[in-house]
Every structure is written in structure tokens, then in C-alpha cells.
Amino acid sequence: MAQQQAKFVLDESRIPRAWYNIVADLPVKPPPGLHPGTGQPLGPDDLAPLFPMALIMQEVSTDREIEIPDPVRDAYRLYRPSPLHRALRLEKALDTPAHIYYKNEGVSPAGSHKPNTAIAQAFFNQQEGVRRLATETGAGQWGSALAFAGALFGLEVKVYMVRASYDQKPYRRFLMEAYGASVVSSPSDTTKYGRQVLAEHPDTPGSLGIAISEAVEDAVTRDDTKYSLGSVLNHVMLHQTVIGLEALEQMEMAGEYPDVVIGCTGGGSNFAGTAFPFVGRNLRGQTKTRFVAVEPLAAPSLTRGVYEYDYGDTARMAPIVKMYTLGHDFIPEPIHAGGLRYHGMSPLVSLLKHEGLIEALAVHQRPVFEAGVLFARTEGILPAPESAHAIRVAIDEALEAKAEGRPRVMLFNLSGHGHFDLSAYDRFLRGQLEDYEYPADRVSEALAALPKV
């Protein structure tokens, strides 16, 4: 019997030439974003202080394809196309009839899928004369991606890094600084909002919501600066579709098509990037693939939240969008998958869930780390805790296939490696990791504070 192929690689000429915009294929029109001050639908002018016009136009575009400019494709060549693997060793360890494929986005310089949008955002900002970008970061995946992209396009990058991470996880900060970015602990004394928080709560560990507010304030108060966000928004989902577009071609090389596509969801971008090109085929009636978004039980917006208009940040400076949310005041427990600790969810991913076009599951962190360790010991790659959420559900599906004696073809996105998460793995291996019960009380309280629109 011929040996089964384990890896599907594409030449750099196969990097997609256009991003896929799922809005063109949606059965319903996405609800508009609202101005945080007036509650009125947002126009391009409202967003102009934050983003360059090219990104604003992408945010509201209904075109199915949006061309990827040559300089962006050129930068993508540093790490794209990313490989598609078949997890033959994991399949064998599980003794499953399922075929498990995974796209490896951990090969990017910053170690995750985040550069796919960071590069695009840096380019479009540079094109419009922006000299400096302000952003926030939690554990640092997004901050290091934007720092990398800034280095490529000659932009200054200022990162507001949540204080708890700034103090406890210095390595991501060092990486951002190696790329040339300037990083401050948030809340900082360099913004009005930061100073206000520090005056009221000098010992605060900070939060993503606070850091977003500081970065937004930085951008709107400086002429040379725009704001950059690593997830949630439509244009971010759009840029990430290079993952799924490449995977479509690679699955064709493998001679198979996924029955189910799996991705972890925090703000939604790696799931969207992987799934949307496949969802589009469902929407156009070509396929009947299932889609599973996997979130942590500590921040289960899709499975326990409500589909309502809410703020993207704590200080209520960011646009109000319709999404699955746990309430903008809700602060998730300190699980190690920092990239999934967000109260809301991408409006596009939320809409798909609301329309019944995708499924969602929430999982505890110990079984997630268990899956991560099994993956490392079979496939070699130590996954980021975020990505291990997708692996957990892929393994569960594979075991179900085994129990039912029915093969299935699965594809999940390995959104990043876990080289900066090793202390969490150490805690897991020593039995020191906690599972957090779903905090229903705190969510109820936070949901009571939703904006009235």
C-alpha cells in the first residue's frame, strides 16, 4: 500500500490573490455598527479617526473578492502558504477511522495567524500616510504580530500591554521590542483614561478593555497615528481568509473535503479565516460541511451569551456592534488561553451562529491542555492553549467517529505554537491547573449593563 501523504505544501505563487468576503454570500444583511456616543449607525467618517479609508471600505464591503495588494502578498511570502498537515500519528494514537487535517499557522514569524491581518493593516495605513499605529495586547500574540508588520512597512508601533501580562509574561514583550515596537504597561500614565484608572485603582492588573480604550485614545488624539485591532472586526475576518483559501486548495491536493471544520474562538478571527471560505461553499449550495467554533467555558460568549448590541471595550469608546456577548463589564477568569478571554465575539461569526449556519461548543481548560500534550507527543508541535481548544474538539470528534465506526474528514486550524505558554503546560503537568465553573452570576450582572439601543 502506498504511504499516505502527511503534508501538503504550496509554492509561494499559490498565495491567494484575493481575500474572500463572506458578506457577499450571506442570506441576511449584517446589522450595522453604531456610534458609541450617539447610538446611530456608523458612517465612514465616524471611523476615519481610527482607521485608514481602505480598511473602512473593506469593513462595509459587499464584494465577494477583495484583491490582495502585491506588497501584502510579498510580505506573506515570508511564511505563506502555511503547510496543511494530516495528523497521521494522532489518528493512530486515537485508533480512529477519522482523517484529521490541520493547517499550521504557527509557522509565521510571530508564531500565530495574527500577521495575516497585521501585515494588511500596516500596509493600508502606510499607503495613506499613517506613520504610527497604536494597539492593545493581552498575552502579546497580537502585539508581536503588529510589531513585526510595523517593522516590514516602516511604521512606529505603540503597544498598550495589559499590566498583568506585562509584569508576568515578559518574553512576548521582548519579542515586540526586538521588532522595534514601543511597549507600555496598561493602564499607563501616557493617556488620560489610563491616568484616570490609575488614580482610582492604583493596583489594578489592567484588562483588555482598558488597554483598548487607551490605544483608541492614543490614536484619536494624534494626527500621525491610527488604531489597529487584531480581531472582531469584519476587515480582520476578511484578511484571515487566506488560511481557508489555501486550505481549500490543499484539501484538493489531499483528494478529500472536510465533513467538519473546527477552530477556536476568542474574537473569532482564526475560526473565521479558516471556516469562511468553506462556509461560502455551503451558502452557495455546493457542500454540507459542519462548522464548530470552540470557546473556553470561562468566556463562553457563543454558547452562554446573548445576541445583542454591546460595546467592544470597557470604557465604551469603541463602536457598538451586534454580537454574542457576555456584557462589556464581564472579566473572564484568568485561564491561560489569553487570546480567548474576551466578552464578545466577531459580529460576522455571531451572525452565522445566530442563523444556525455554524455550531459552538465550550470546553474546560484541563481537557484542553490534555489534548495539547497528546498533540505534542504525536505530531511534535506544542500548540498554543488557544489552538488546543480546537484540538480538544477534533479529538472528541475523532473518538466519536471511532465509537460510531463511521469515518469522517476533519480540518482544524492550529492557530499558533505554545512556545510562550510553557509555564502553563508546566502547571498542567504538575496538576496545578484549575477548571473554572461558568460564572453565571457575573454574566447576568454584566448583561444587565448592555446599552439600550
Which burial class, exposed, middle or buried, applies to 202 when counting CB atoms under 10 A from its CB (0-12, 13-18, 19+)? exposed
CA distance 238 to 57: 12
Site string for a copy of itself, 48-77 (x = CB under 8 A): ----------------------x---x--x
CB of 136 to a copy of itself, least distance (A): 21
* Number of other residues whose CB lies within 10 A of the CB of residue 12: 13
- Candidates 53, 373, 399, 450; binder of a copy of itself (CB under 8 A) is 373
In the window 414-443, what residues touch a copy of itself (CB under 8 A)? 419-420, 422-423, 425-426, 429
The sign of the CA dihedral 177, 263, 209, 35 is: positive
92 binds a copy of itself, rule: CB under 8 A: no
CA distance 378 to 397: 17
For residue 151, which of 111, 132, 119, 179 has the smallest C-alpha distance? Answer: 179
CB of 174 to a copy of itself, least distance (A): 4
Q: Which residue number, 55 or 176, has a Cβ lying nearer to a copy of itself? A: 176
330 binds a copy of itself, rule: CB under 8 A: no
CB of 171 to a copy of itself, least distance (A): 4
CB of 318 to a copy of itself, least distance (A): 29
Q: Which residue number, 73 or 322, has a Cβ lying nearer to a copy of itself? A: 73
CB of 246 to a copy of itself, least distance (A): 13
CB of 116 to a copy of itself, least distance (A): 13
In the window 111-140, what residues touch a copy of itself (CB under 8 A)? 111, 115
Q: Which residue number, 174 or 199, has a Cβ lying nearer to a copy of itself? A: 174
Helical segments of 132-268, H only: 141-153, 163-168, 170-178, 192-200, 208-220, 234-254
Query: For a copy of itself, which stretch binds (CB under 8 A), given 146-154, 205-213, 282-290, 327-335?
Result: 146-154
95 binds a copy of itself, rule: CB under 8 A: no
Q: What is the dihedral of CA 384, 387, 393, 395, to 10 degrees?
A: -60
DSSP 390-417: HHHHHHHHHHHHHHHT---EEEEEE-BB
- Candidates 17, 39, 171, 449; binder of a copy of itself (CB under 8 A) is 171
- Estimate the share of the chain in helix, then strand, then coil, as percent rounded to the nearest 5: 45, 15, 40
CA distance 308 to 102: 33
CB of 95 to a copy of itself, least distance (A): 15
Q: What is the edge-to-edge ordering of all strands in the sheet holding 7-8?
A: 7-8, 84-86, 99-104, 409-414, 260-264, 290-296, 359-363
93 binds a copy of itself, rule: CB under 8 A: no
Which burial class, exposed, middle or buried, applies to 406 when counting CB atoms under 10 A from its CB (0-12, 13-18, 19+)? exposed
List all residues 6 or more positions away from 255 whose beta carbon is below 8 Å from its beta carbon: none
Q: Which residue number, 92 or 284, has a Cβ lying nearer to a copy of itself? A: 92
Q: Which residue number, 24 or 376, has a Cβ lying nearer to a copy of itself? A: 376
168 binds a copy of itself, rule: CB under 8 A: no
CA distance 88 to 209: 41
Which three cell numbers, joined as nine digits, stand for 334?
484568568
Q: Which residues bind a copy of itself (CB under 8 A)?
A: 3, 5-7, 9-12, 70, 74, 77-79, 85, 89, 107-111, 115, 148, 151-152, 170-171, 174-175, 177-180, 373, 376-382, 419-420, 422-423, 425-426, 429
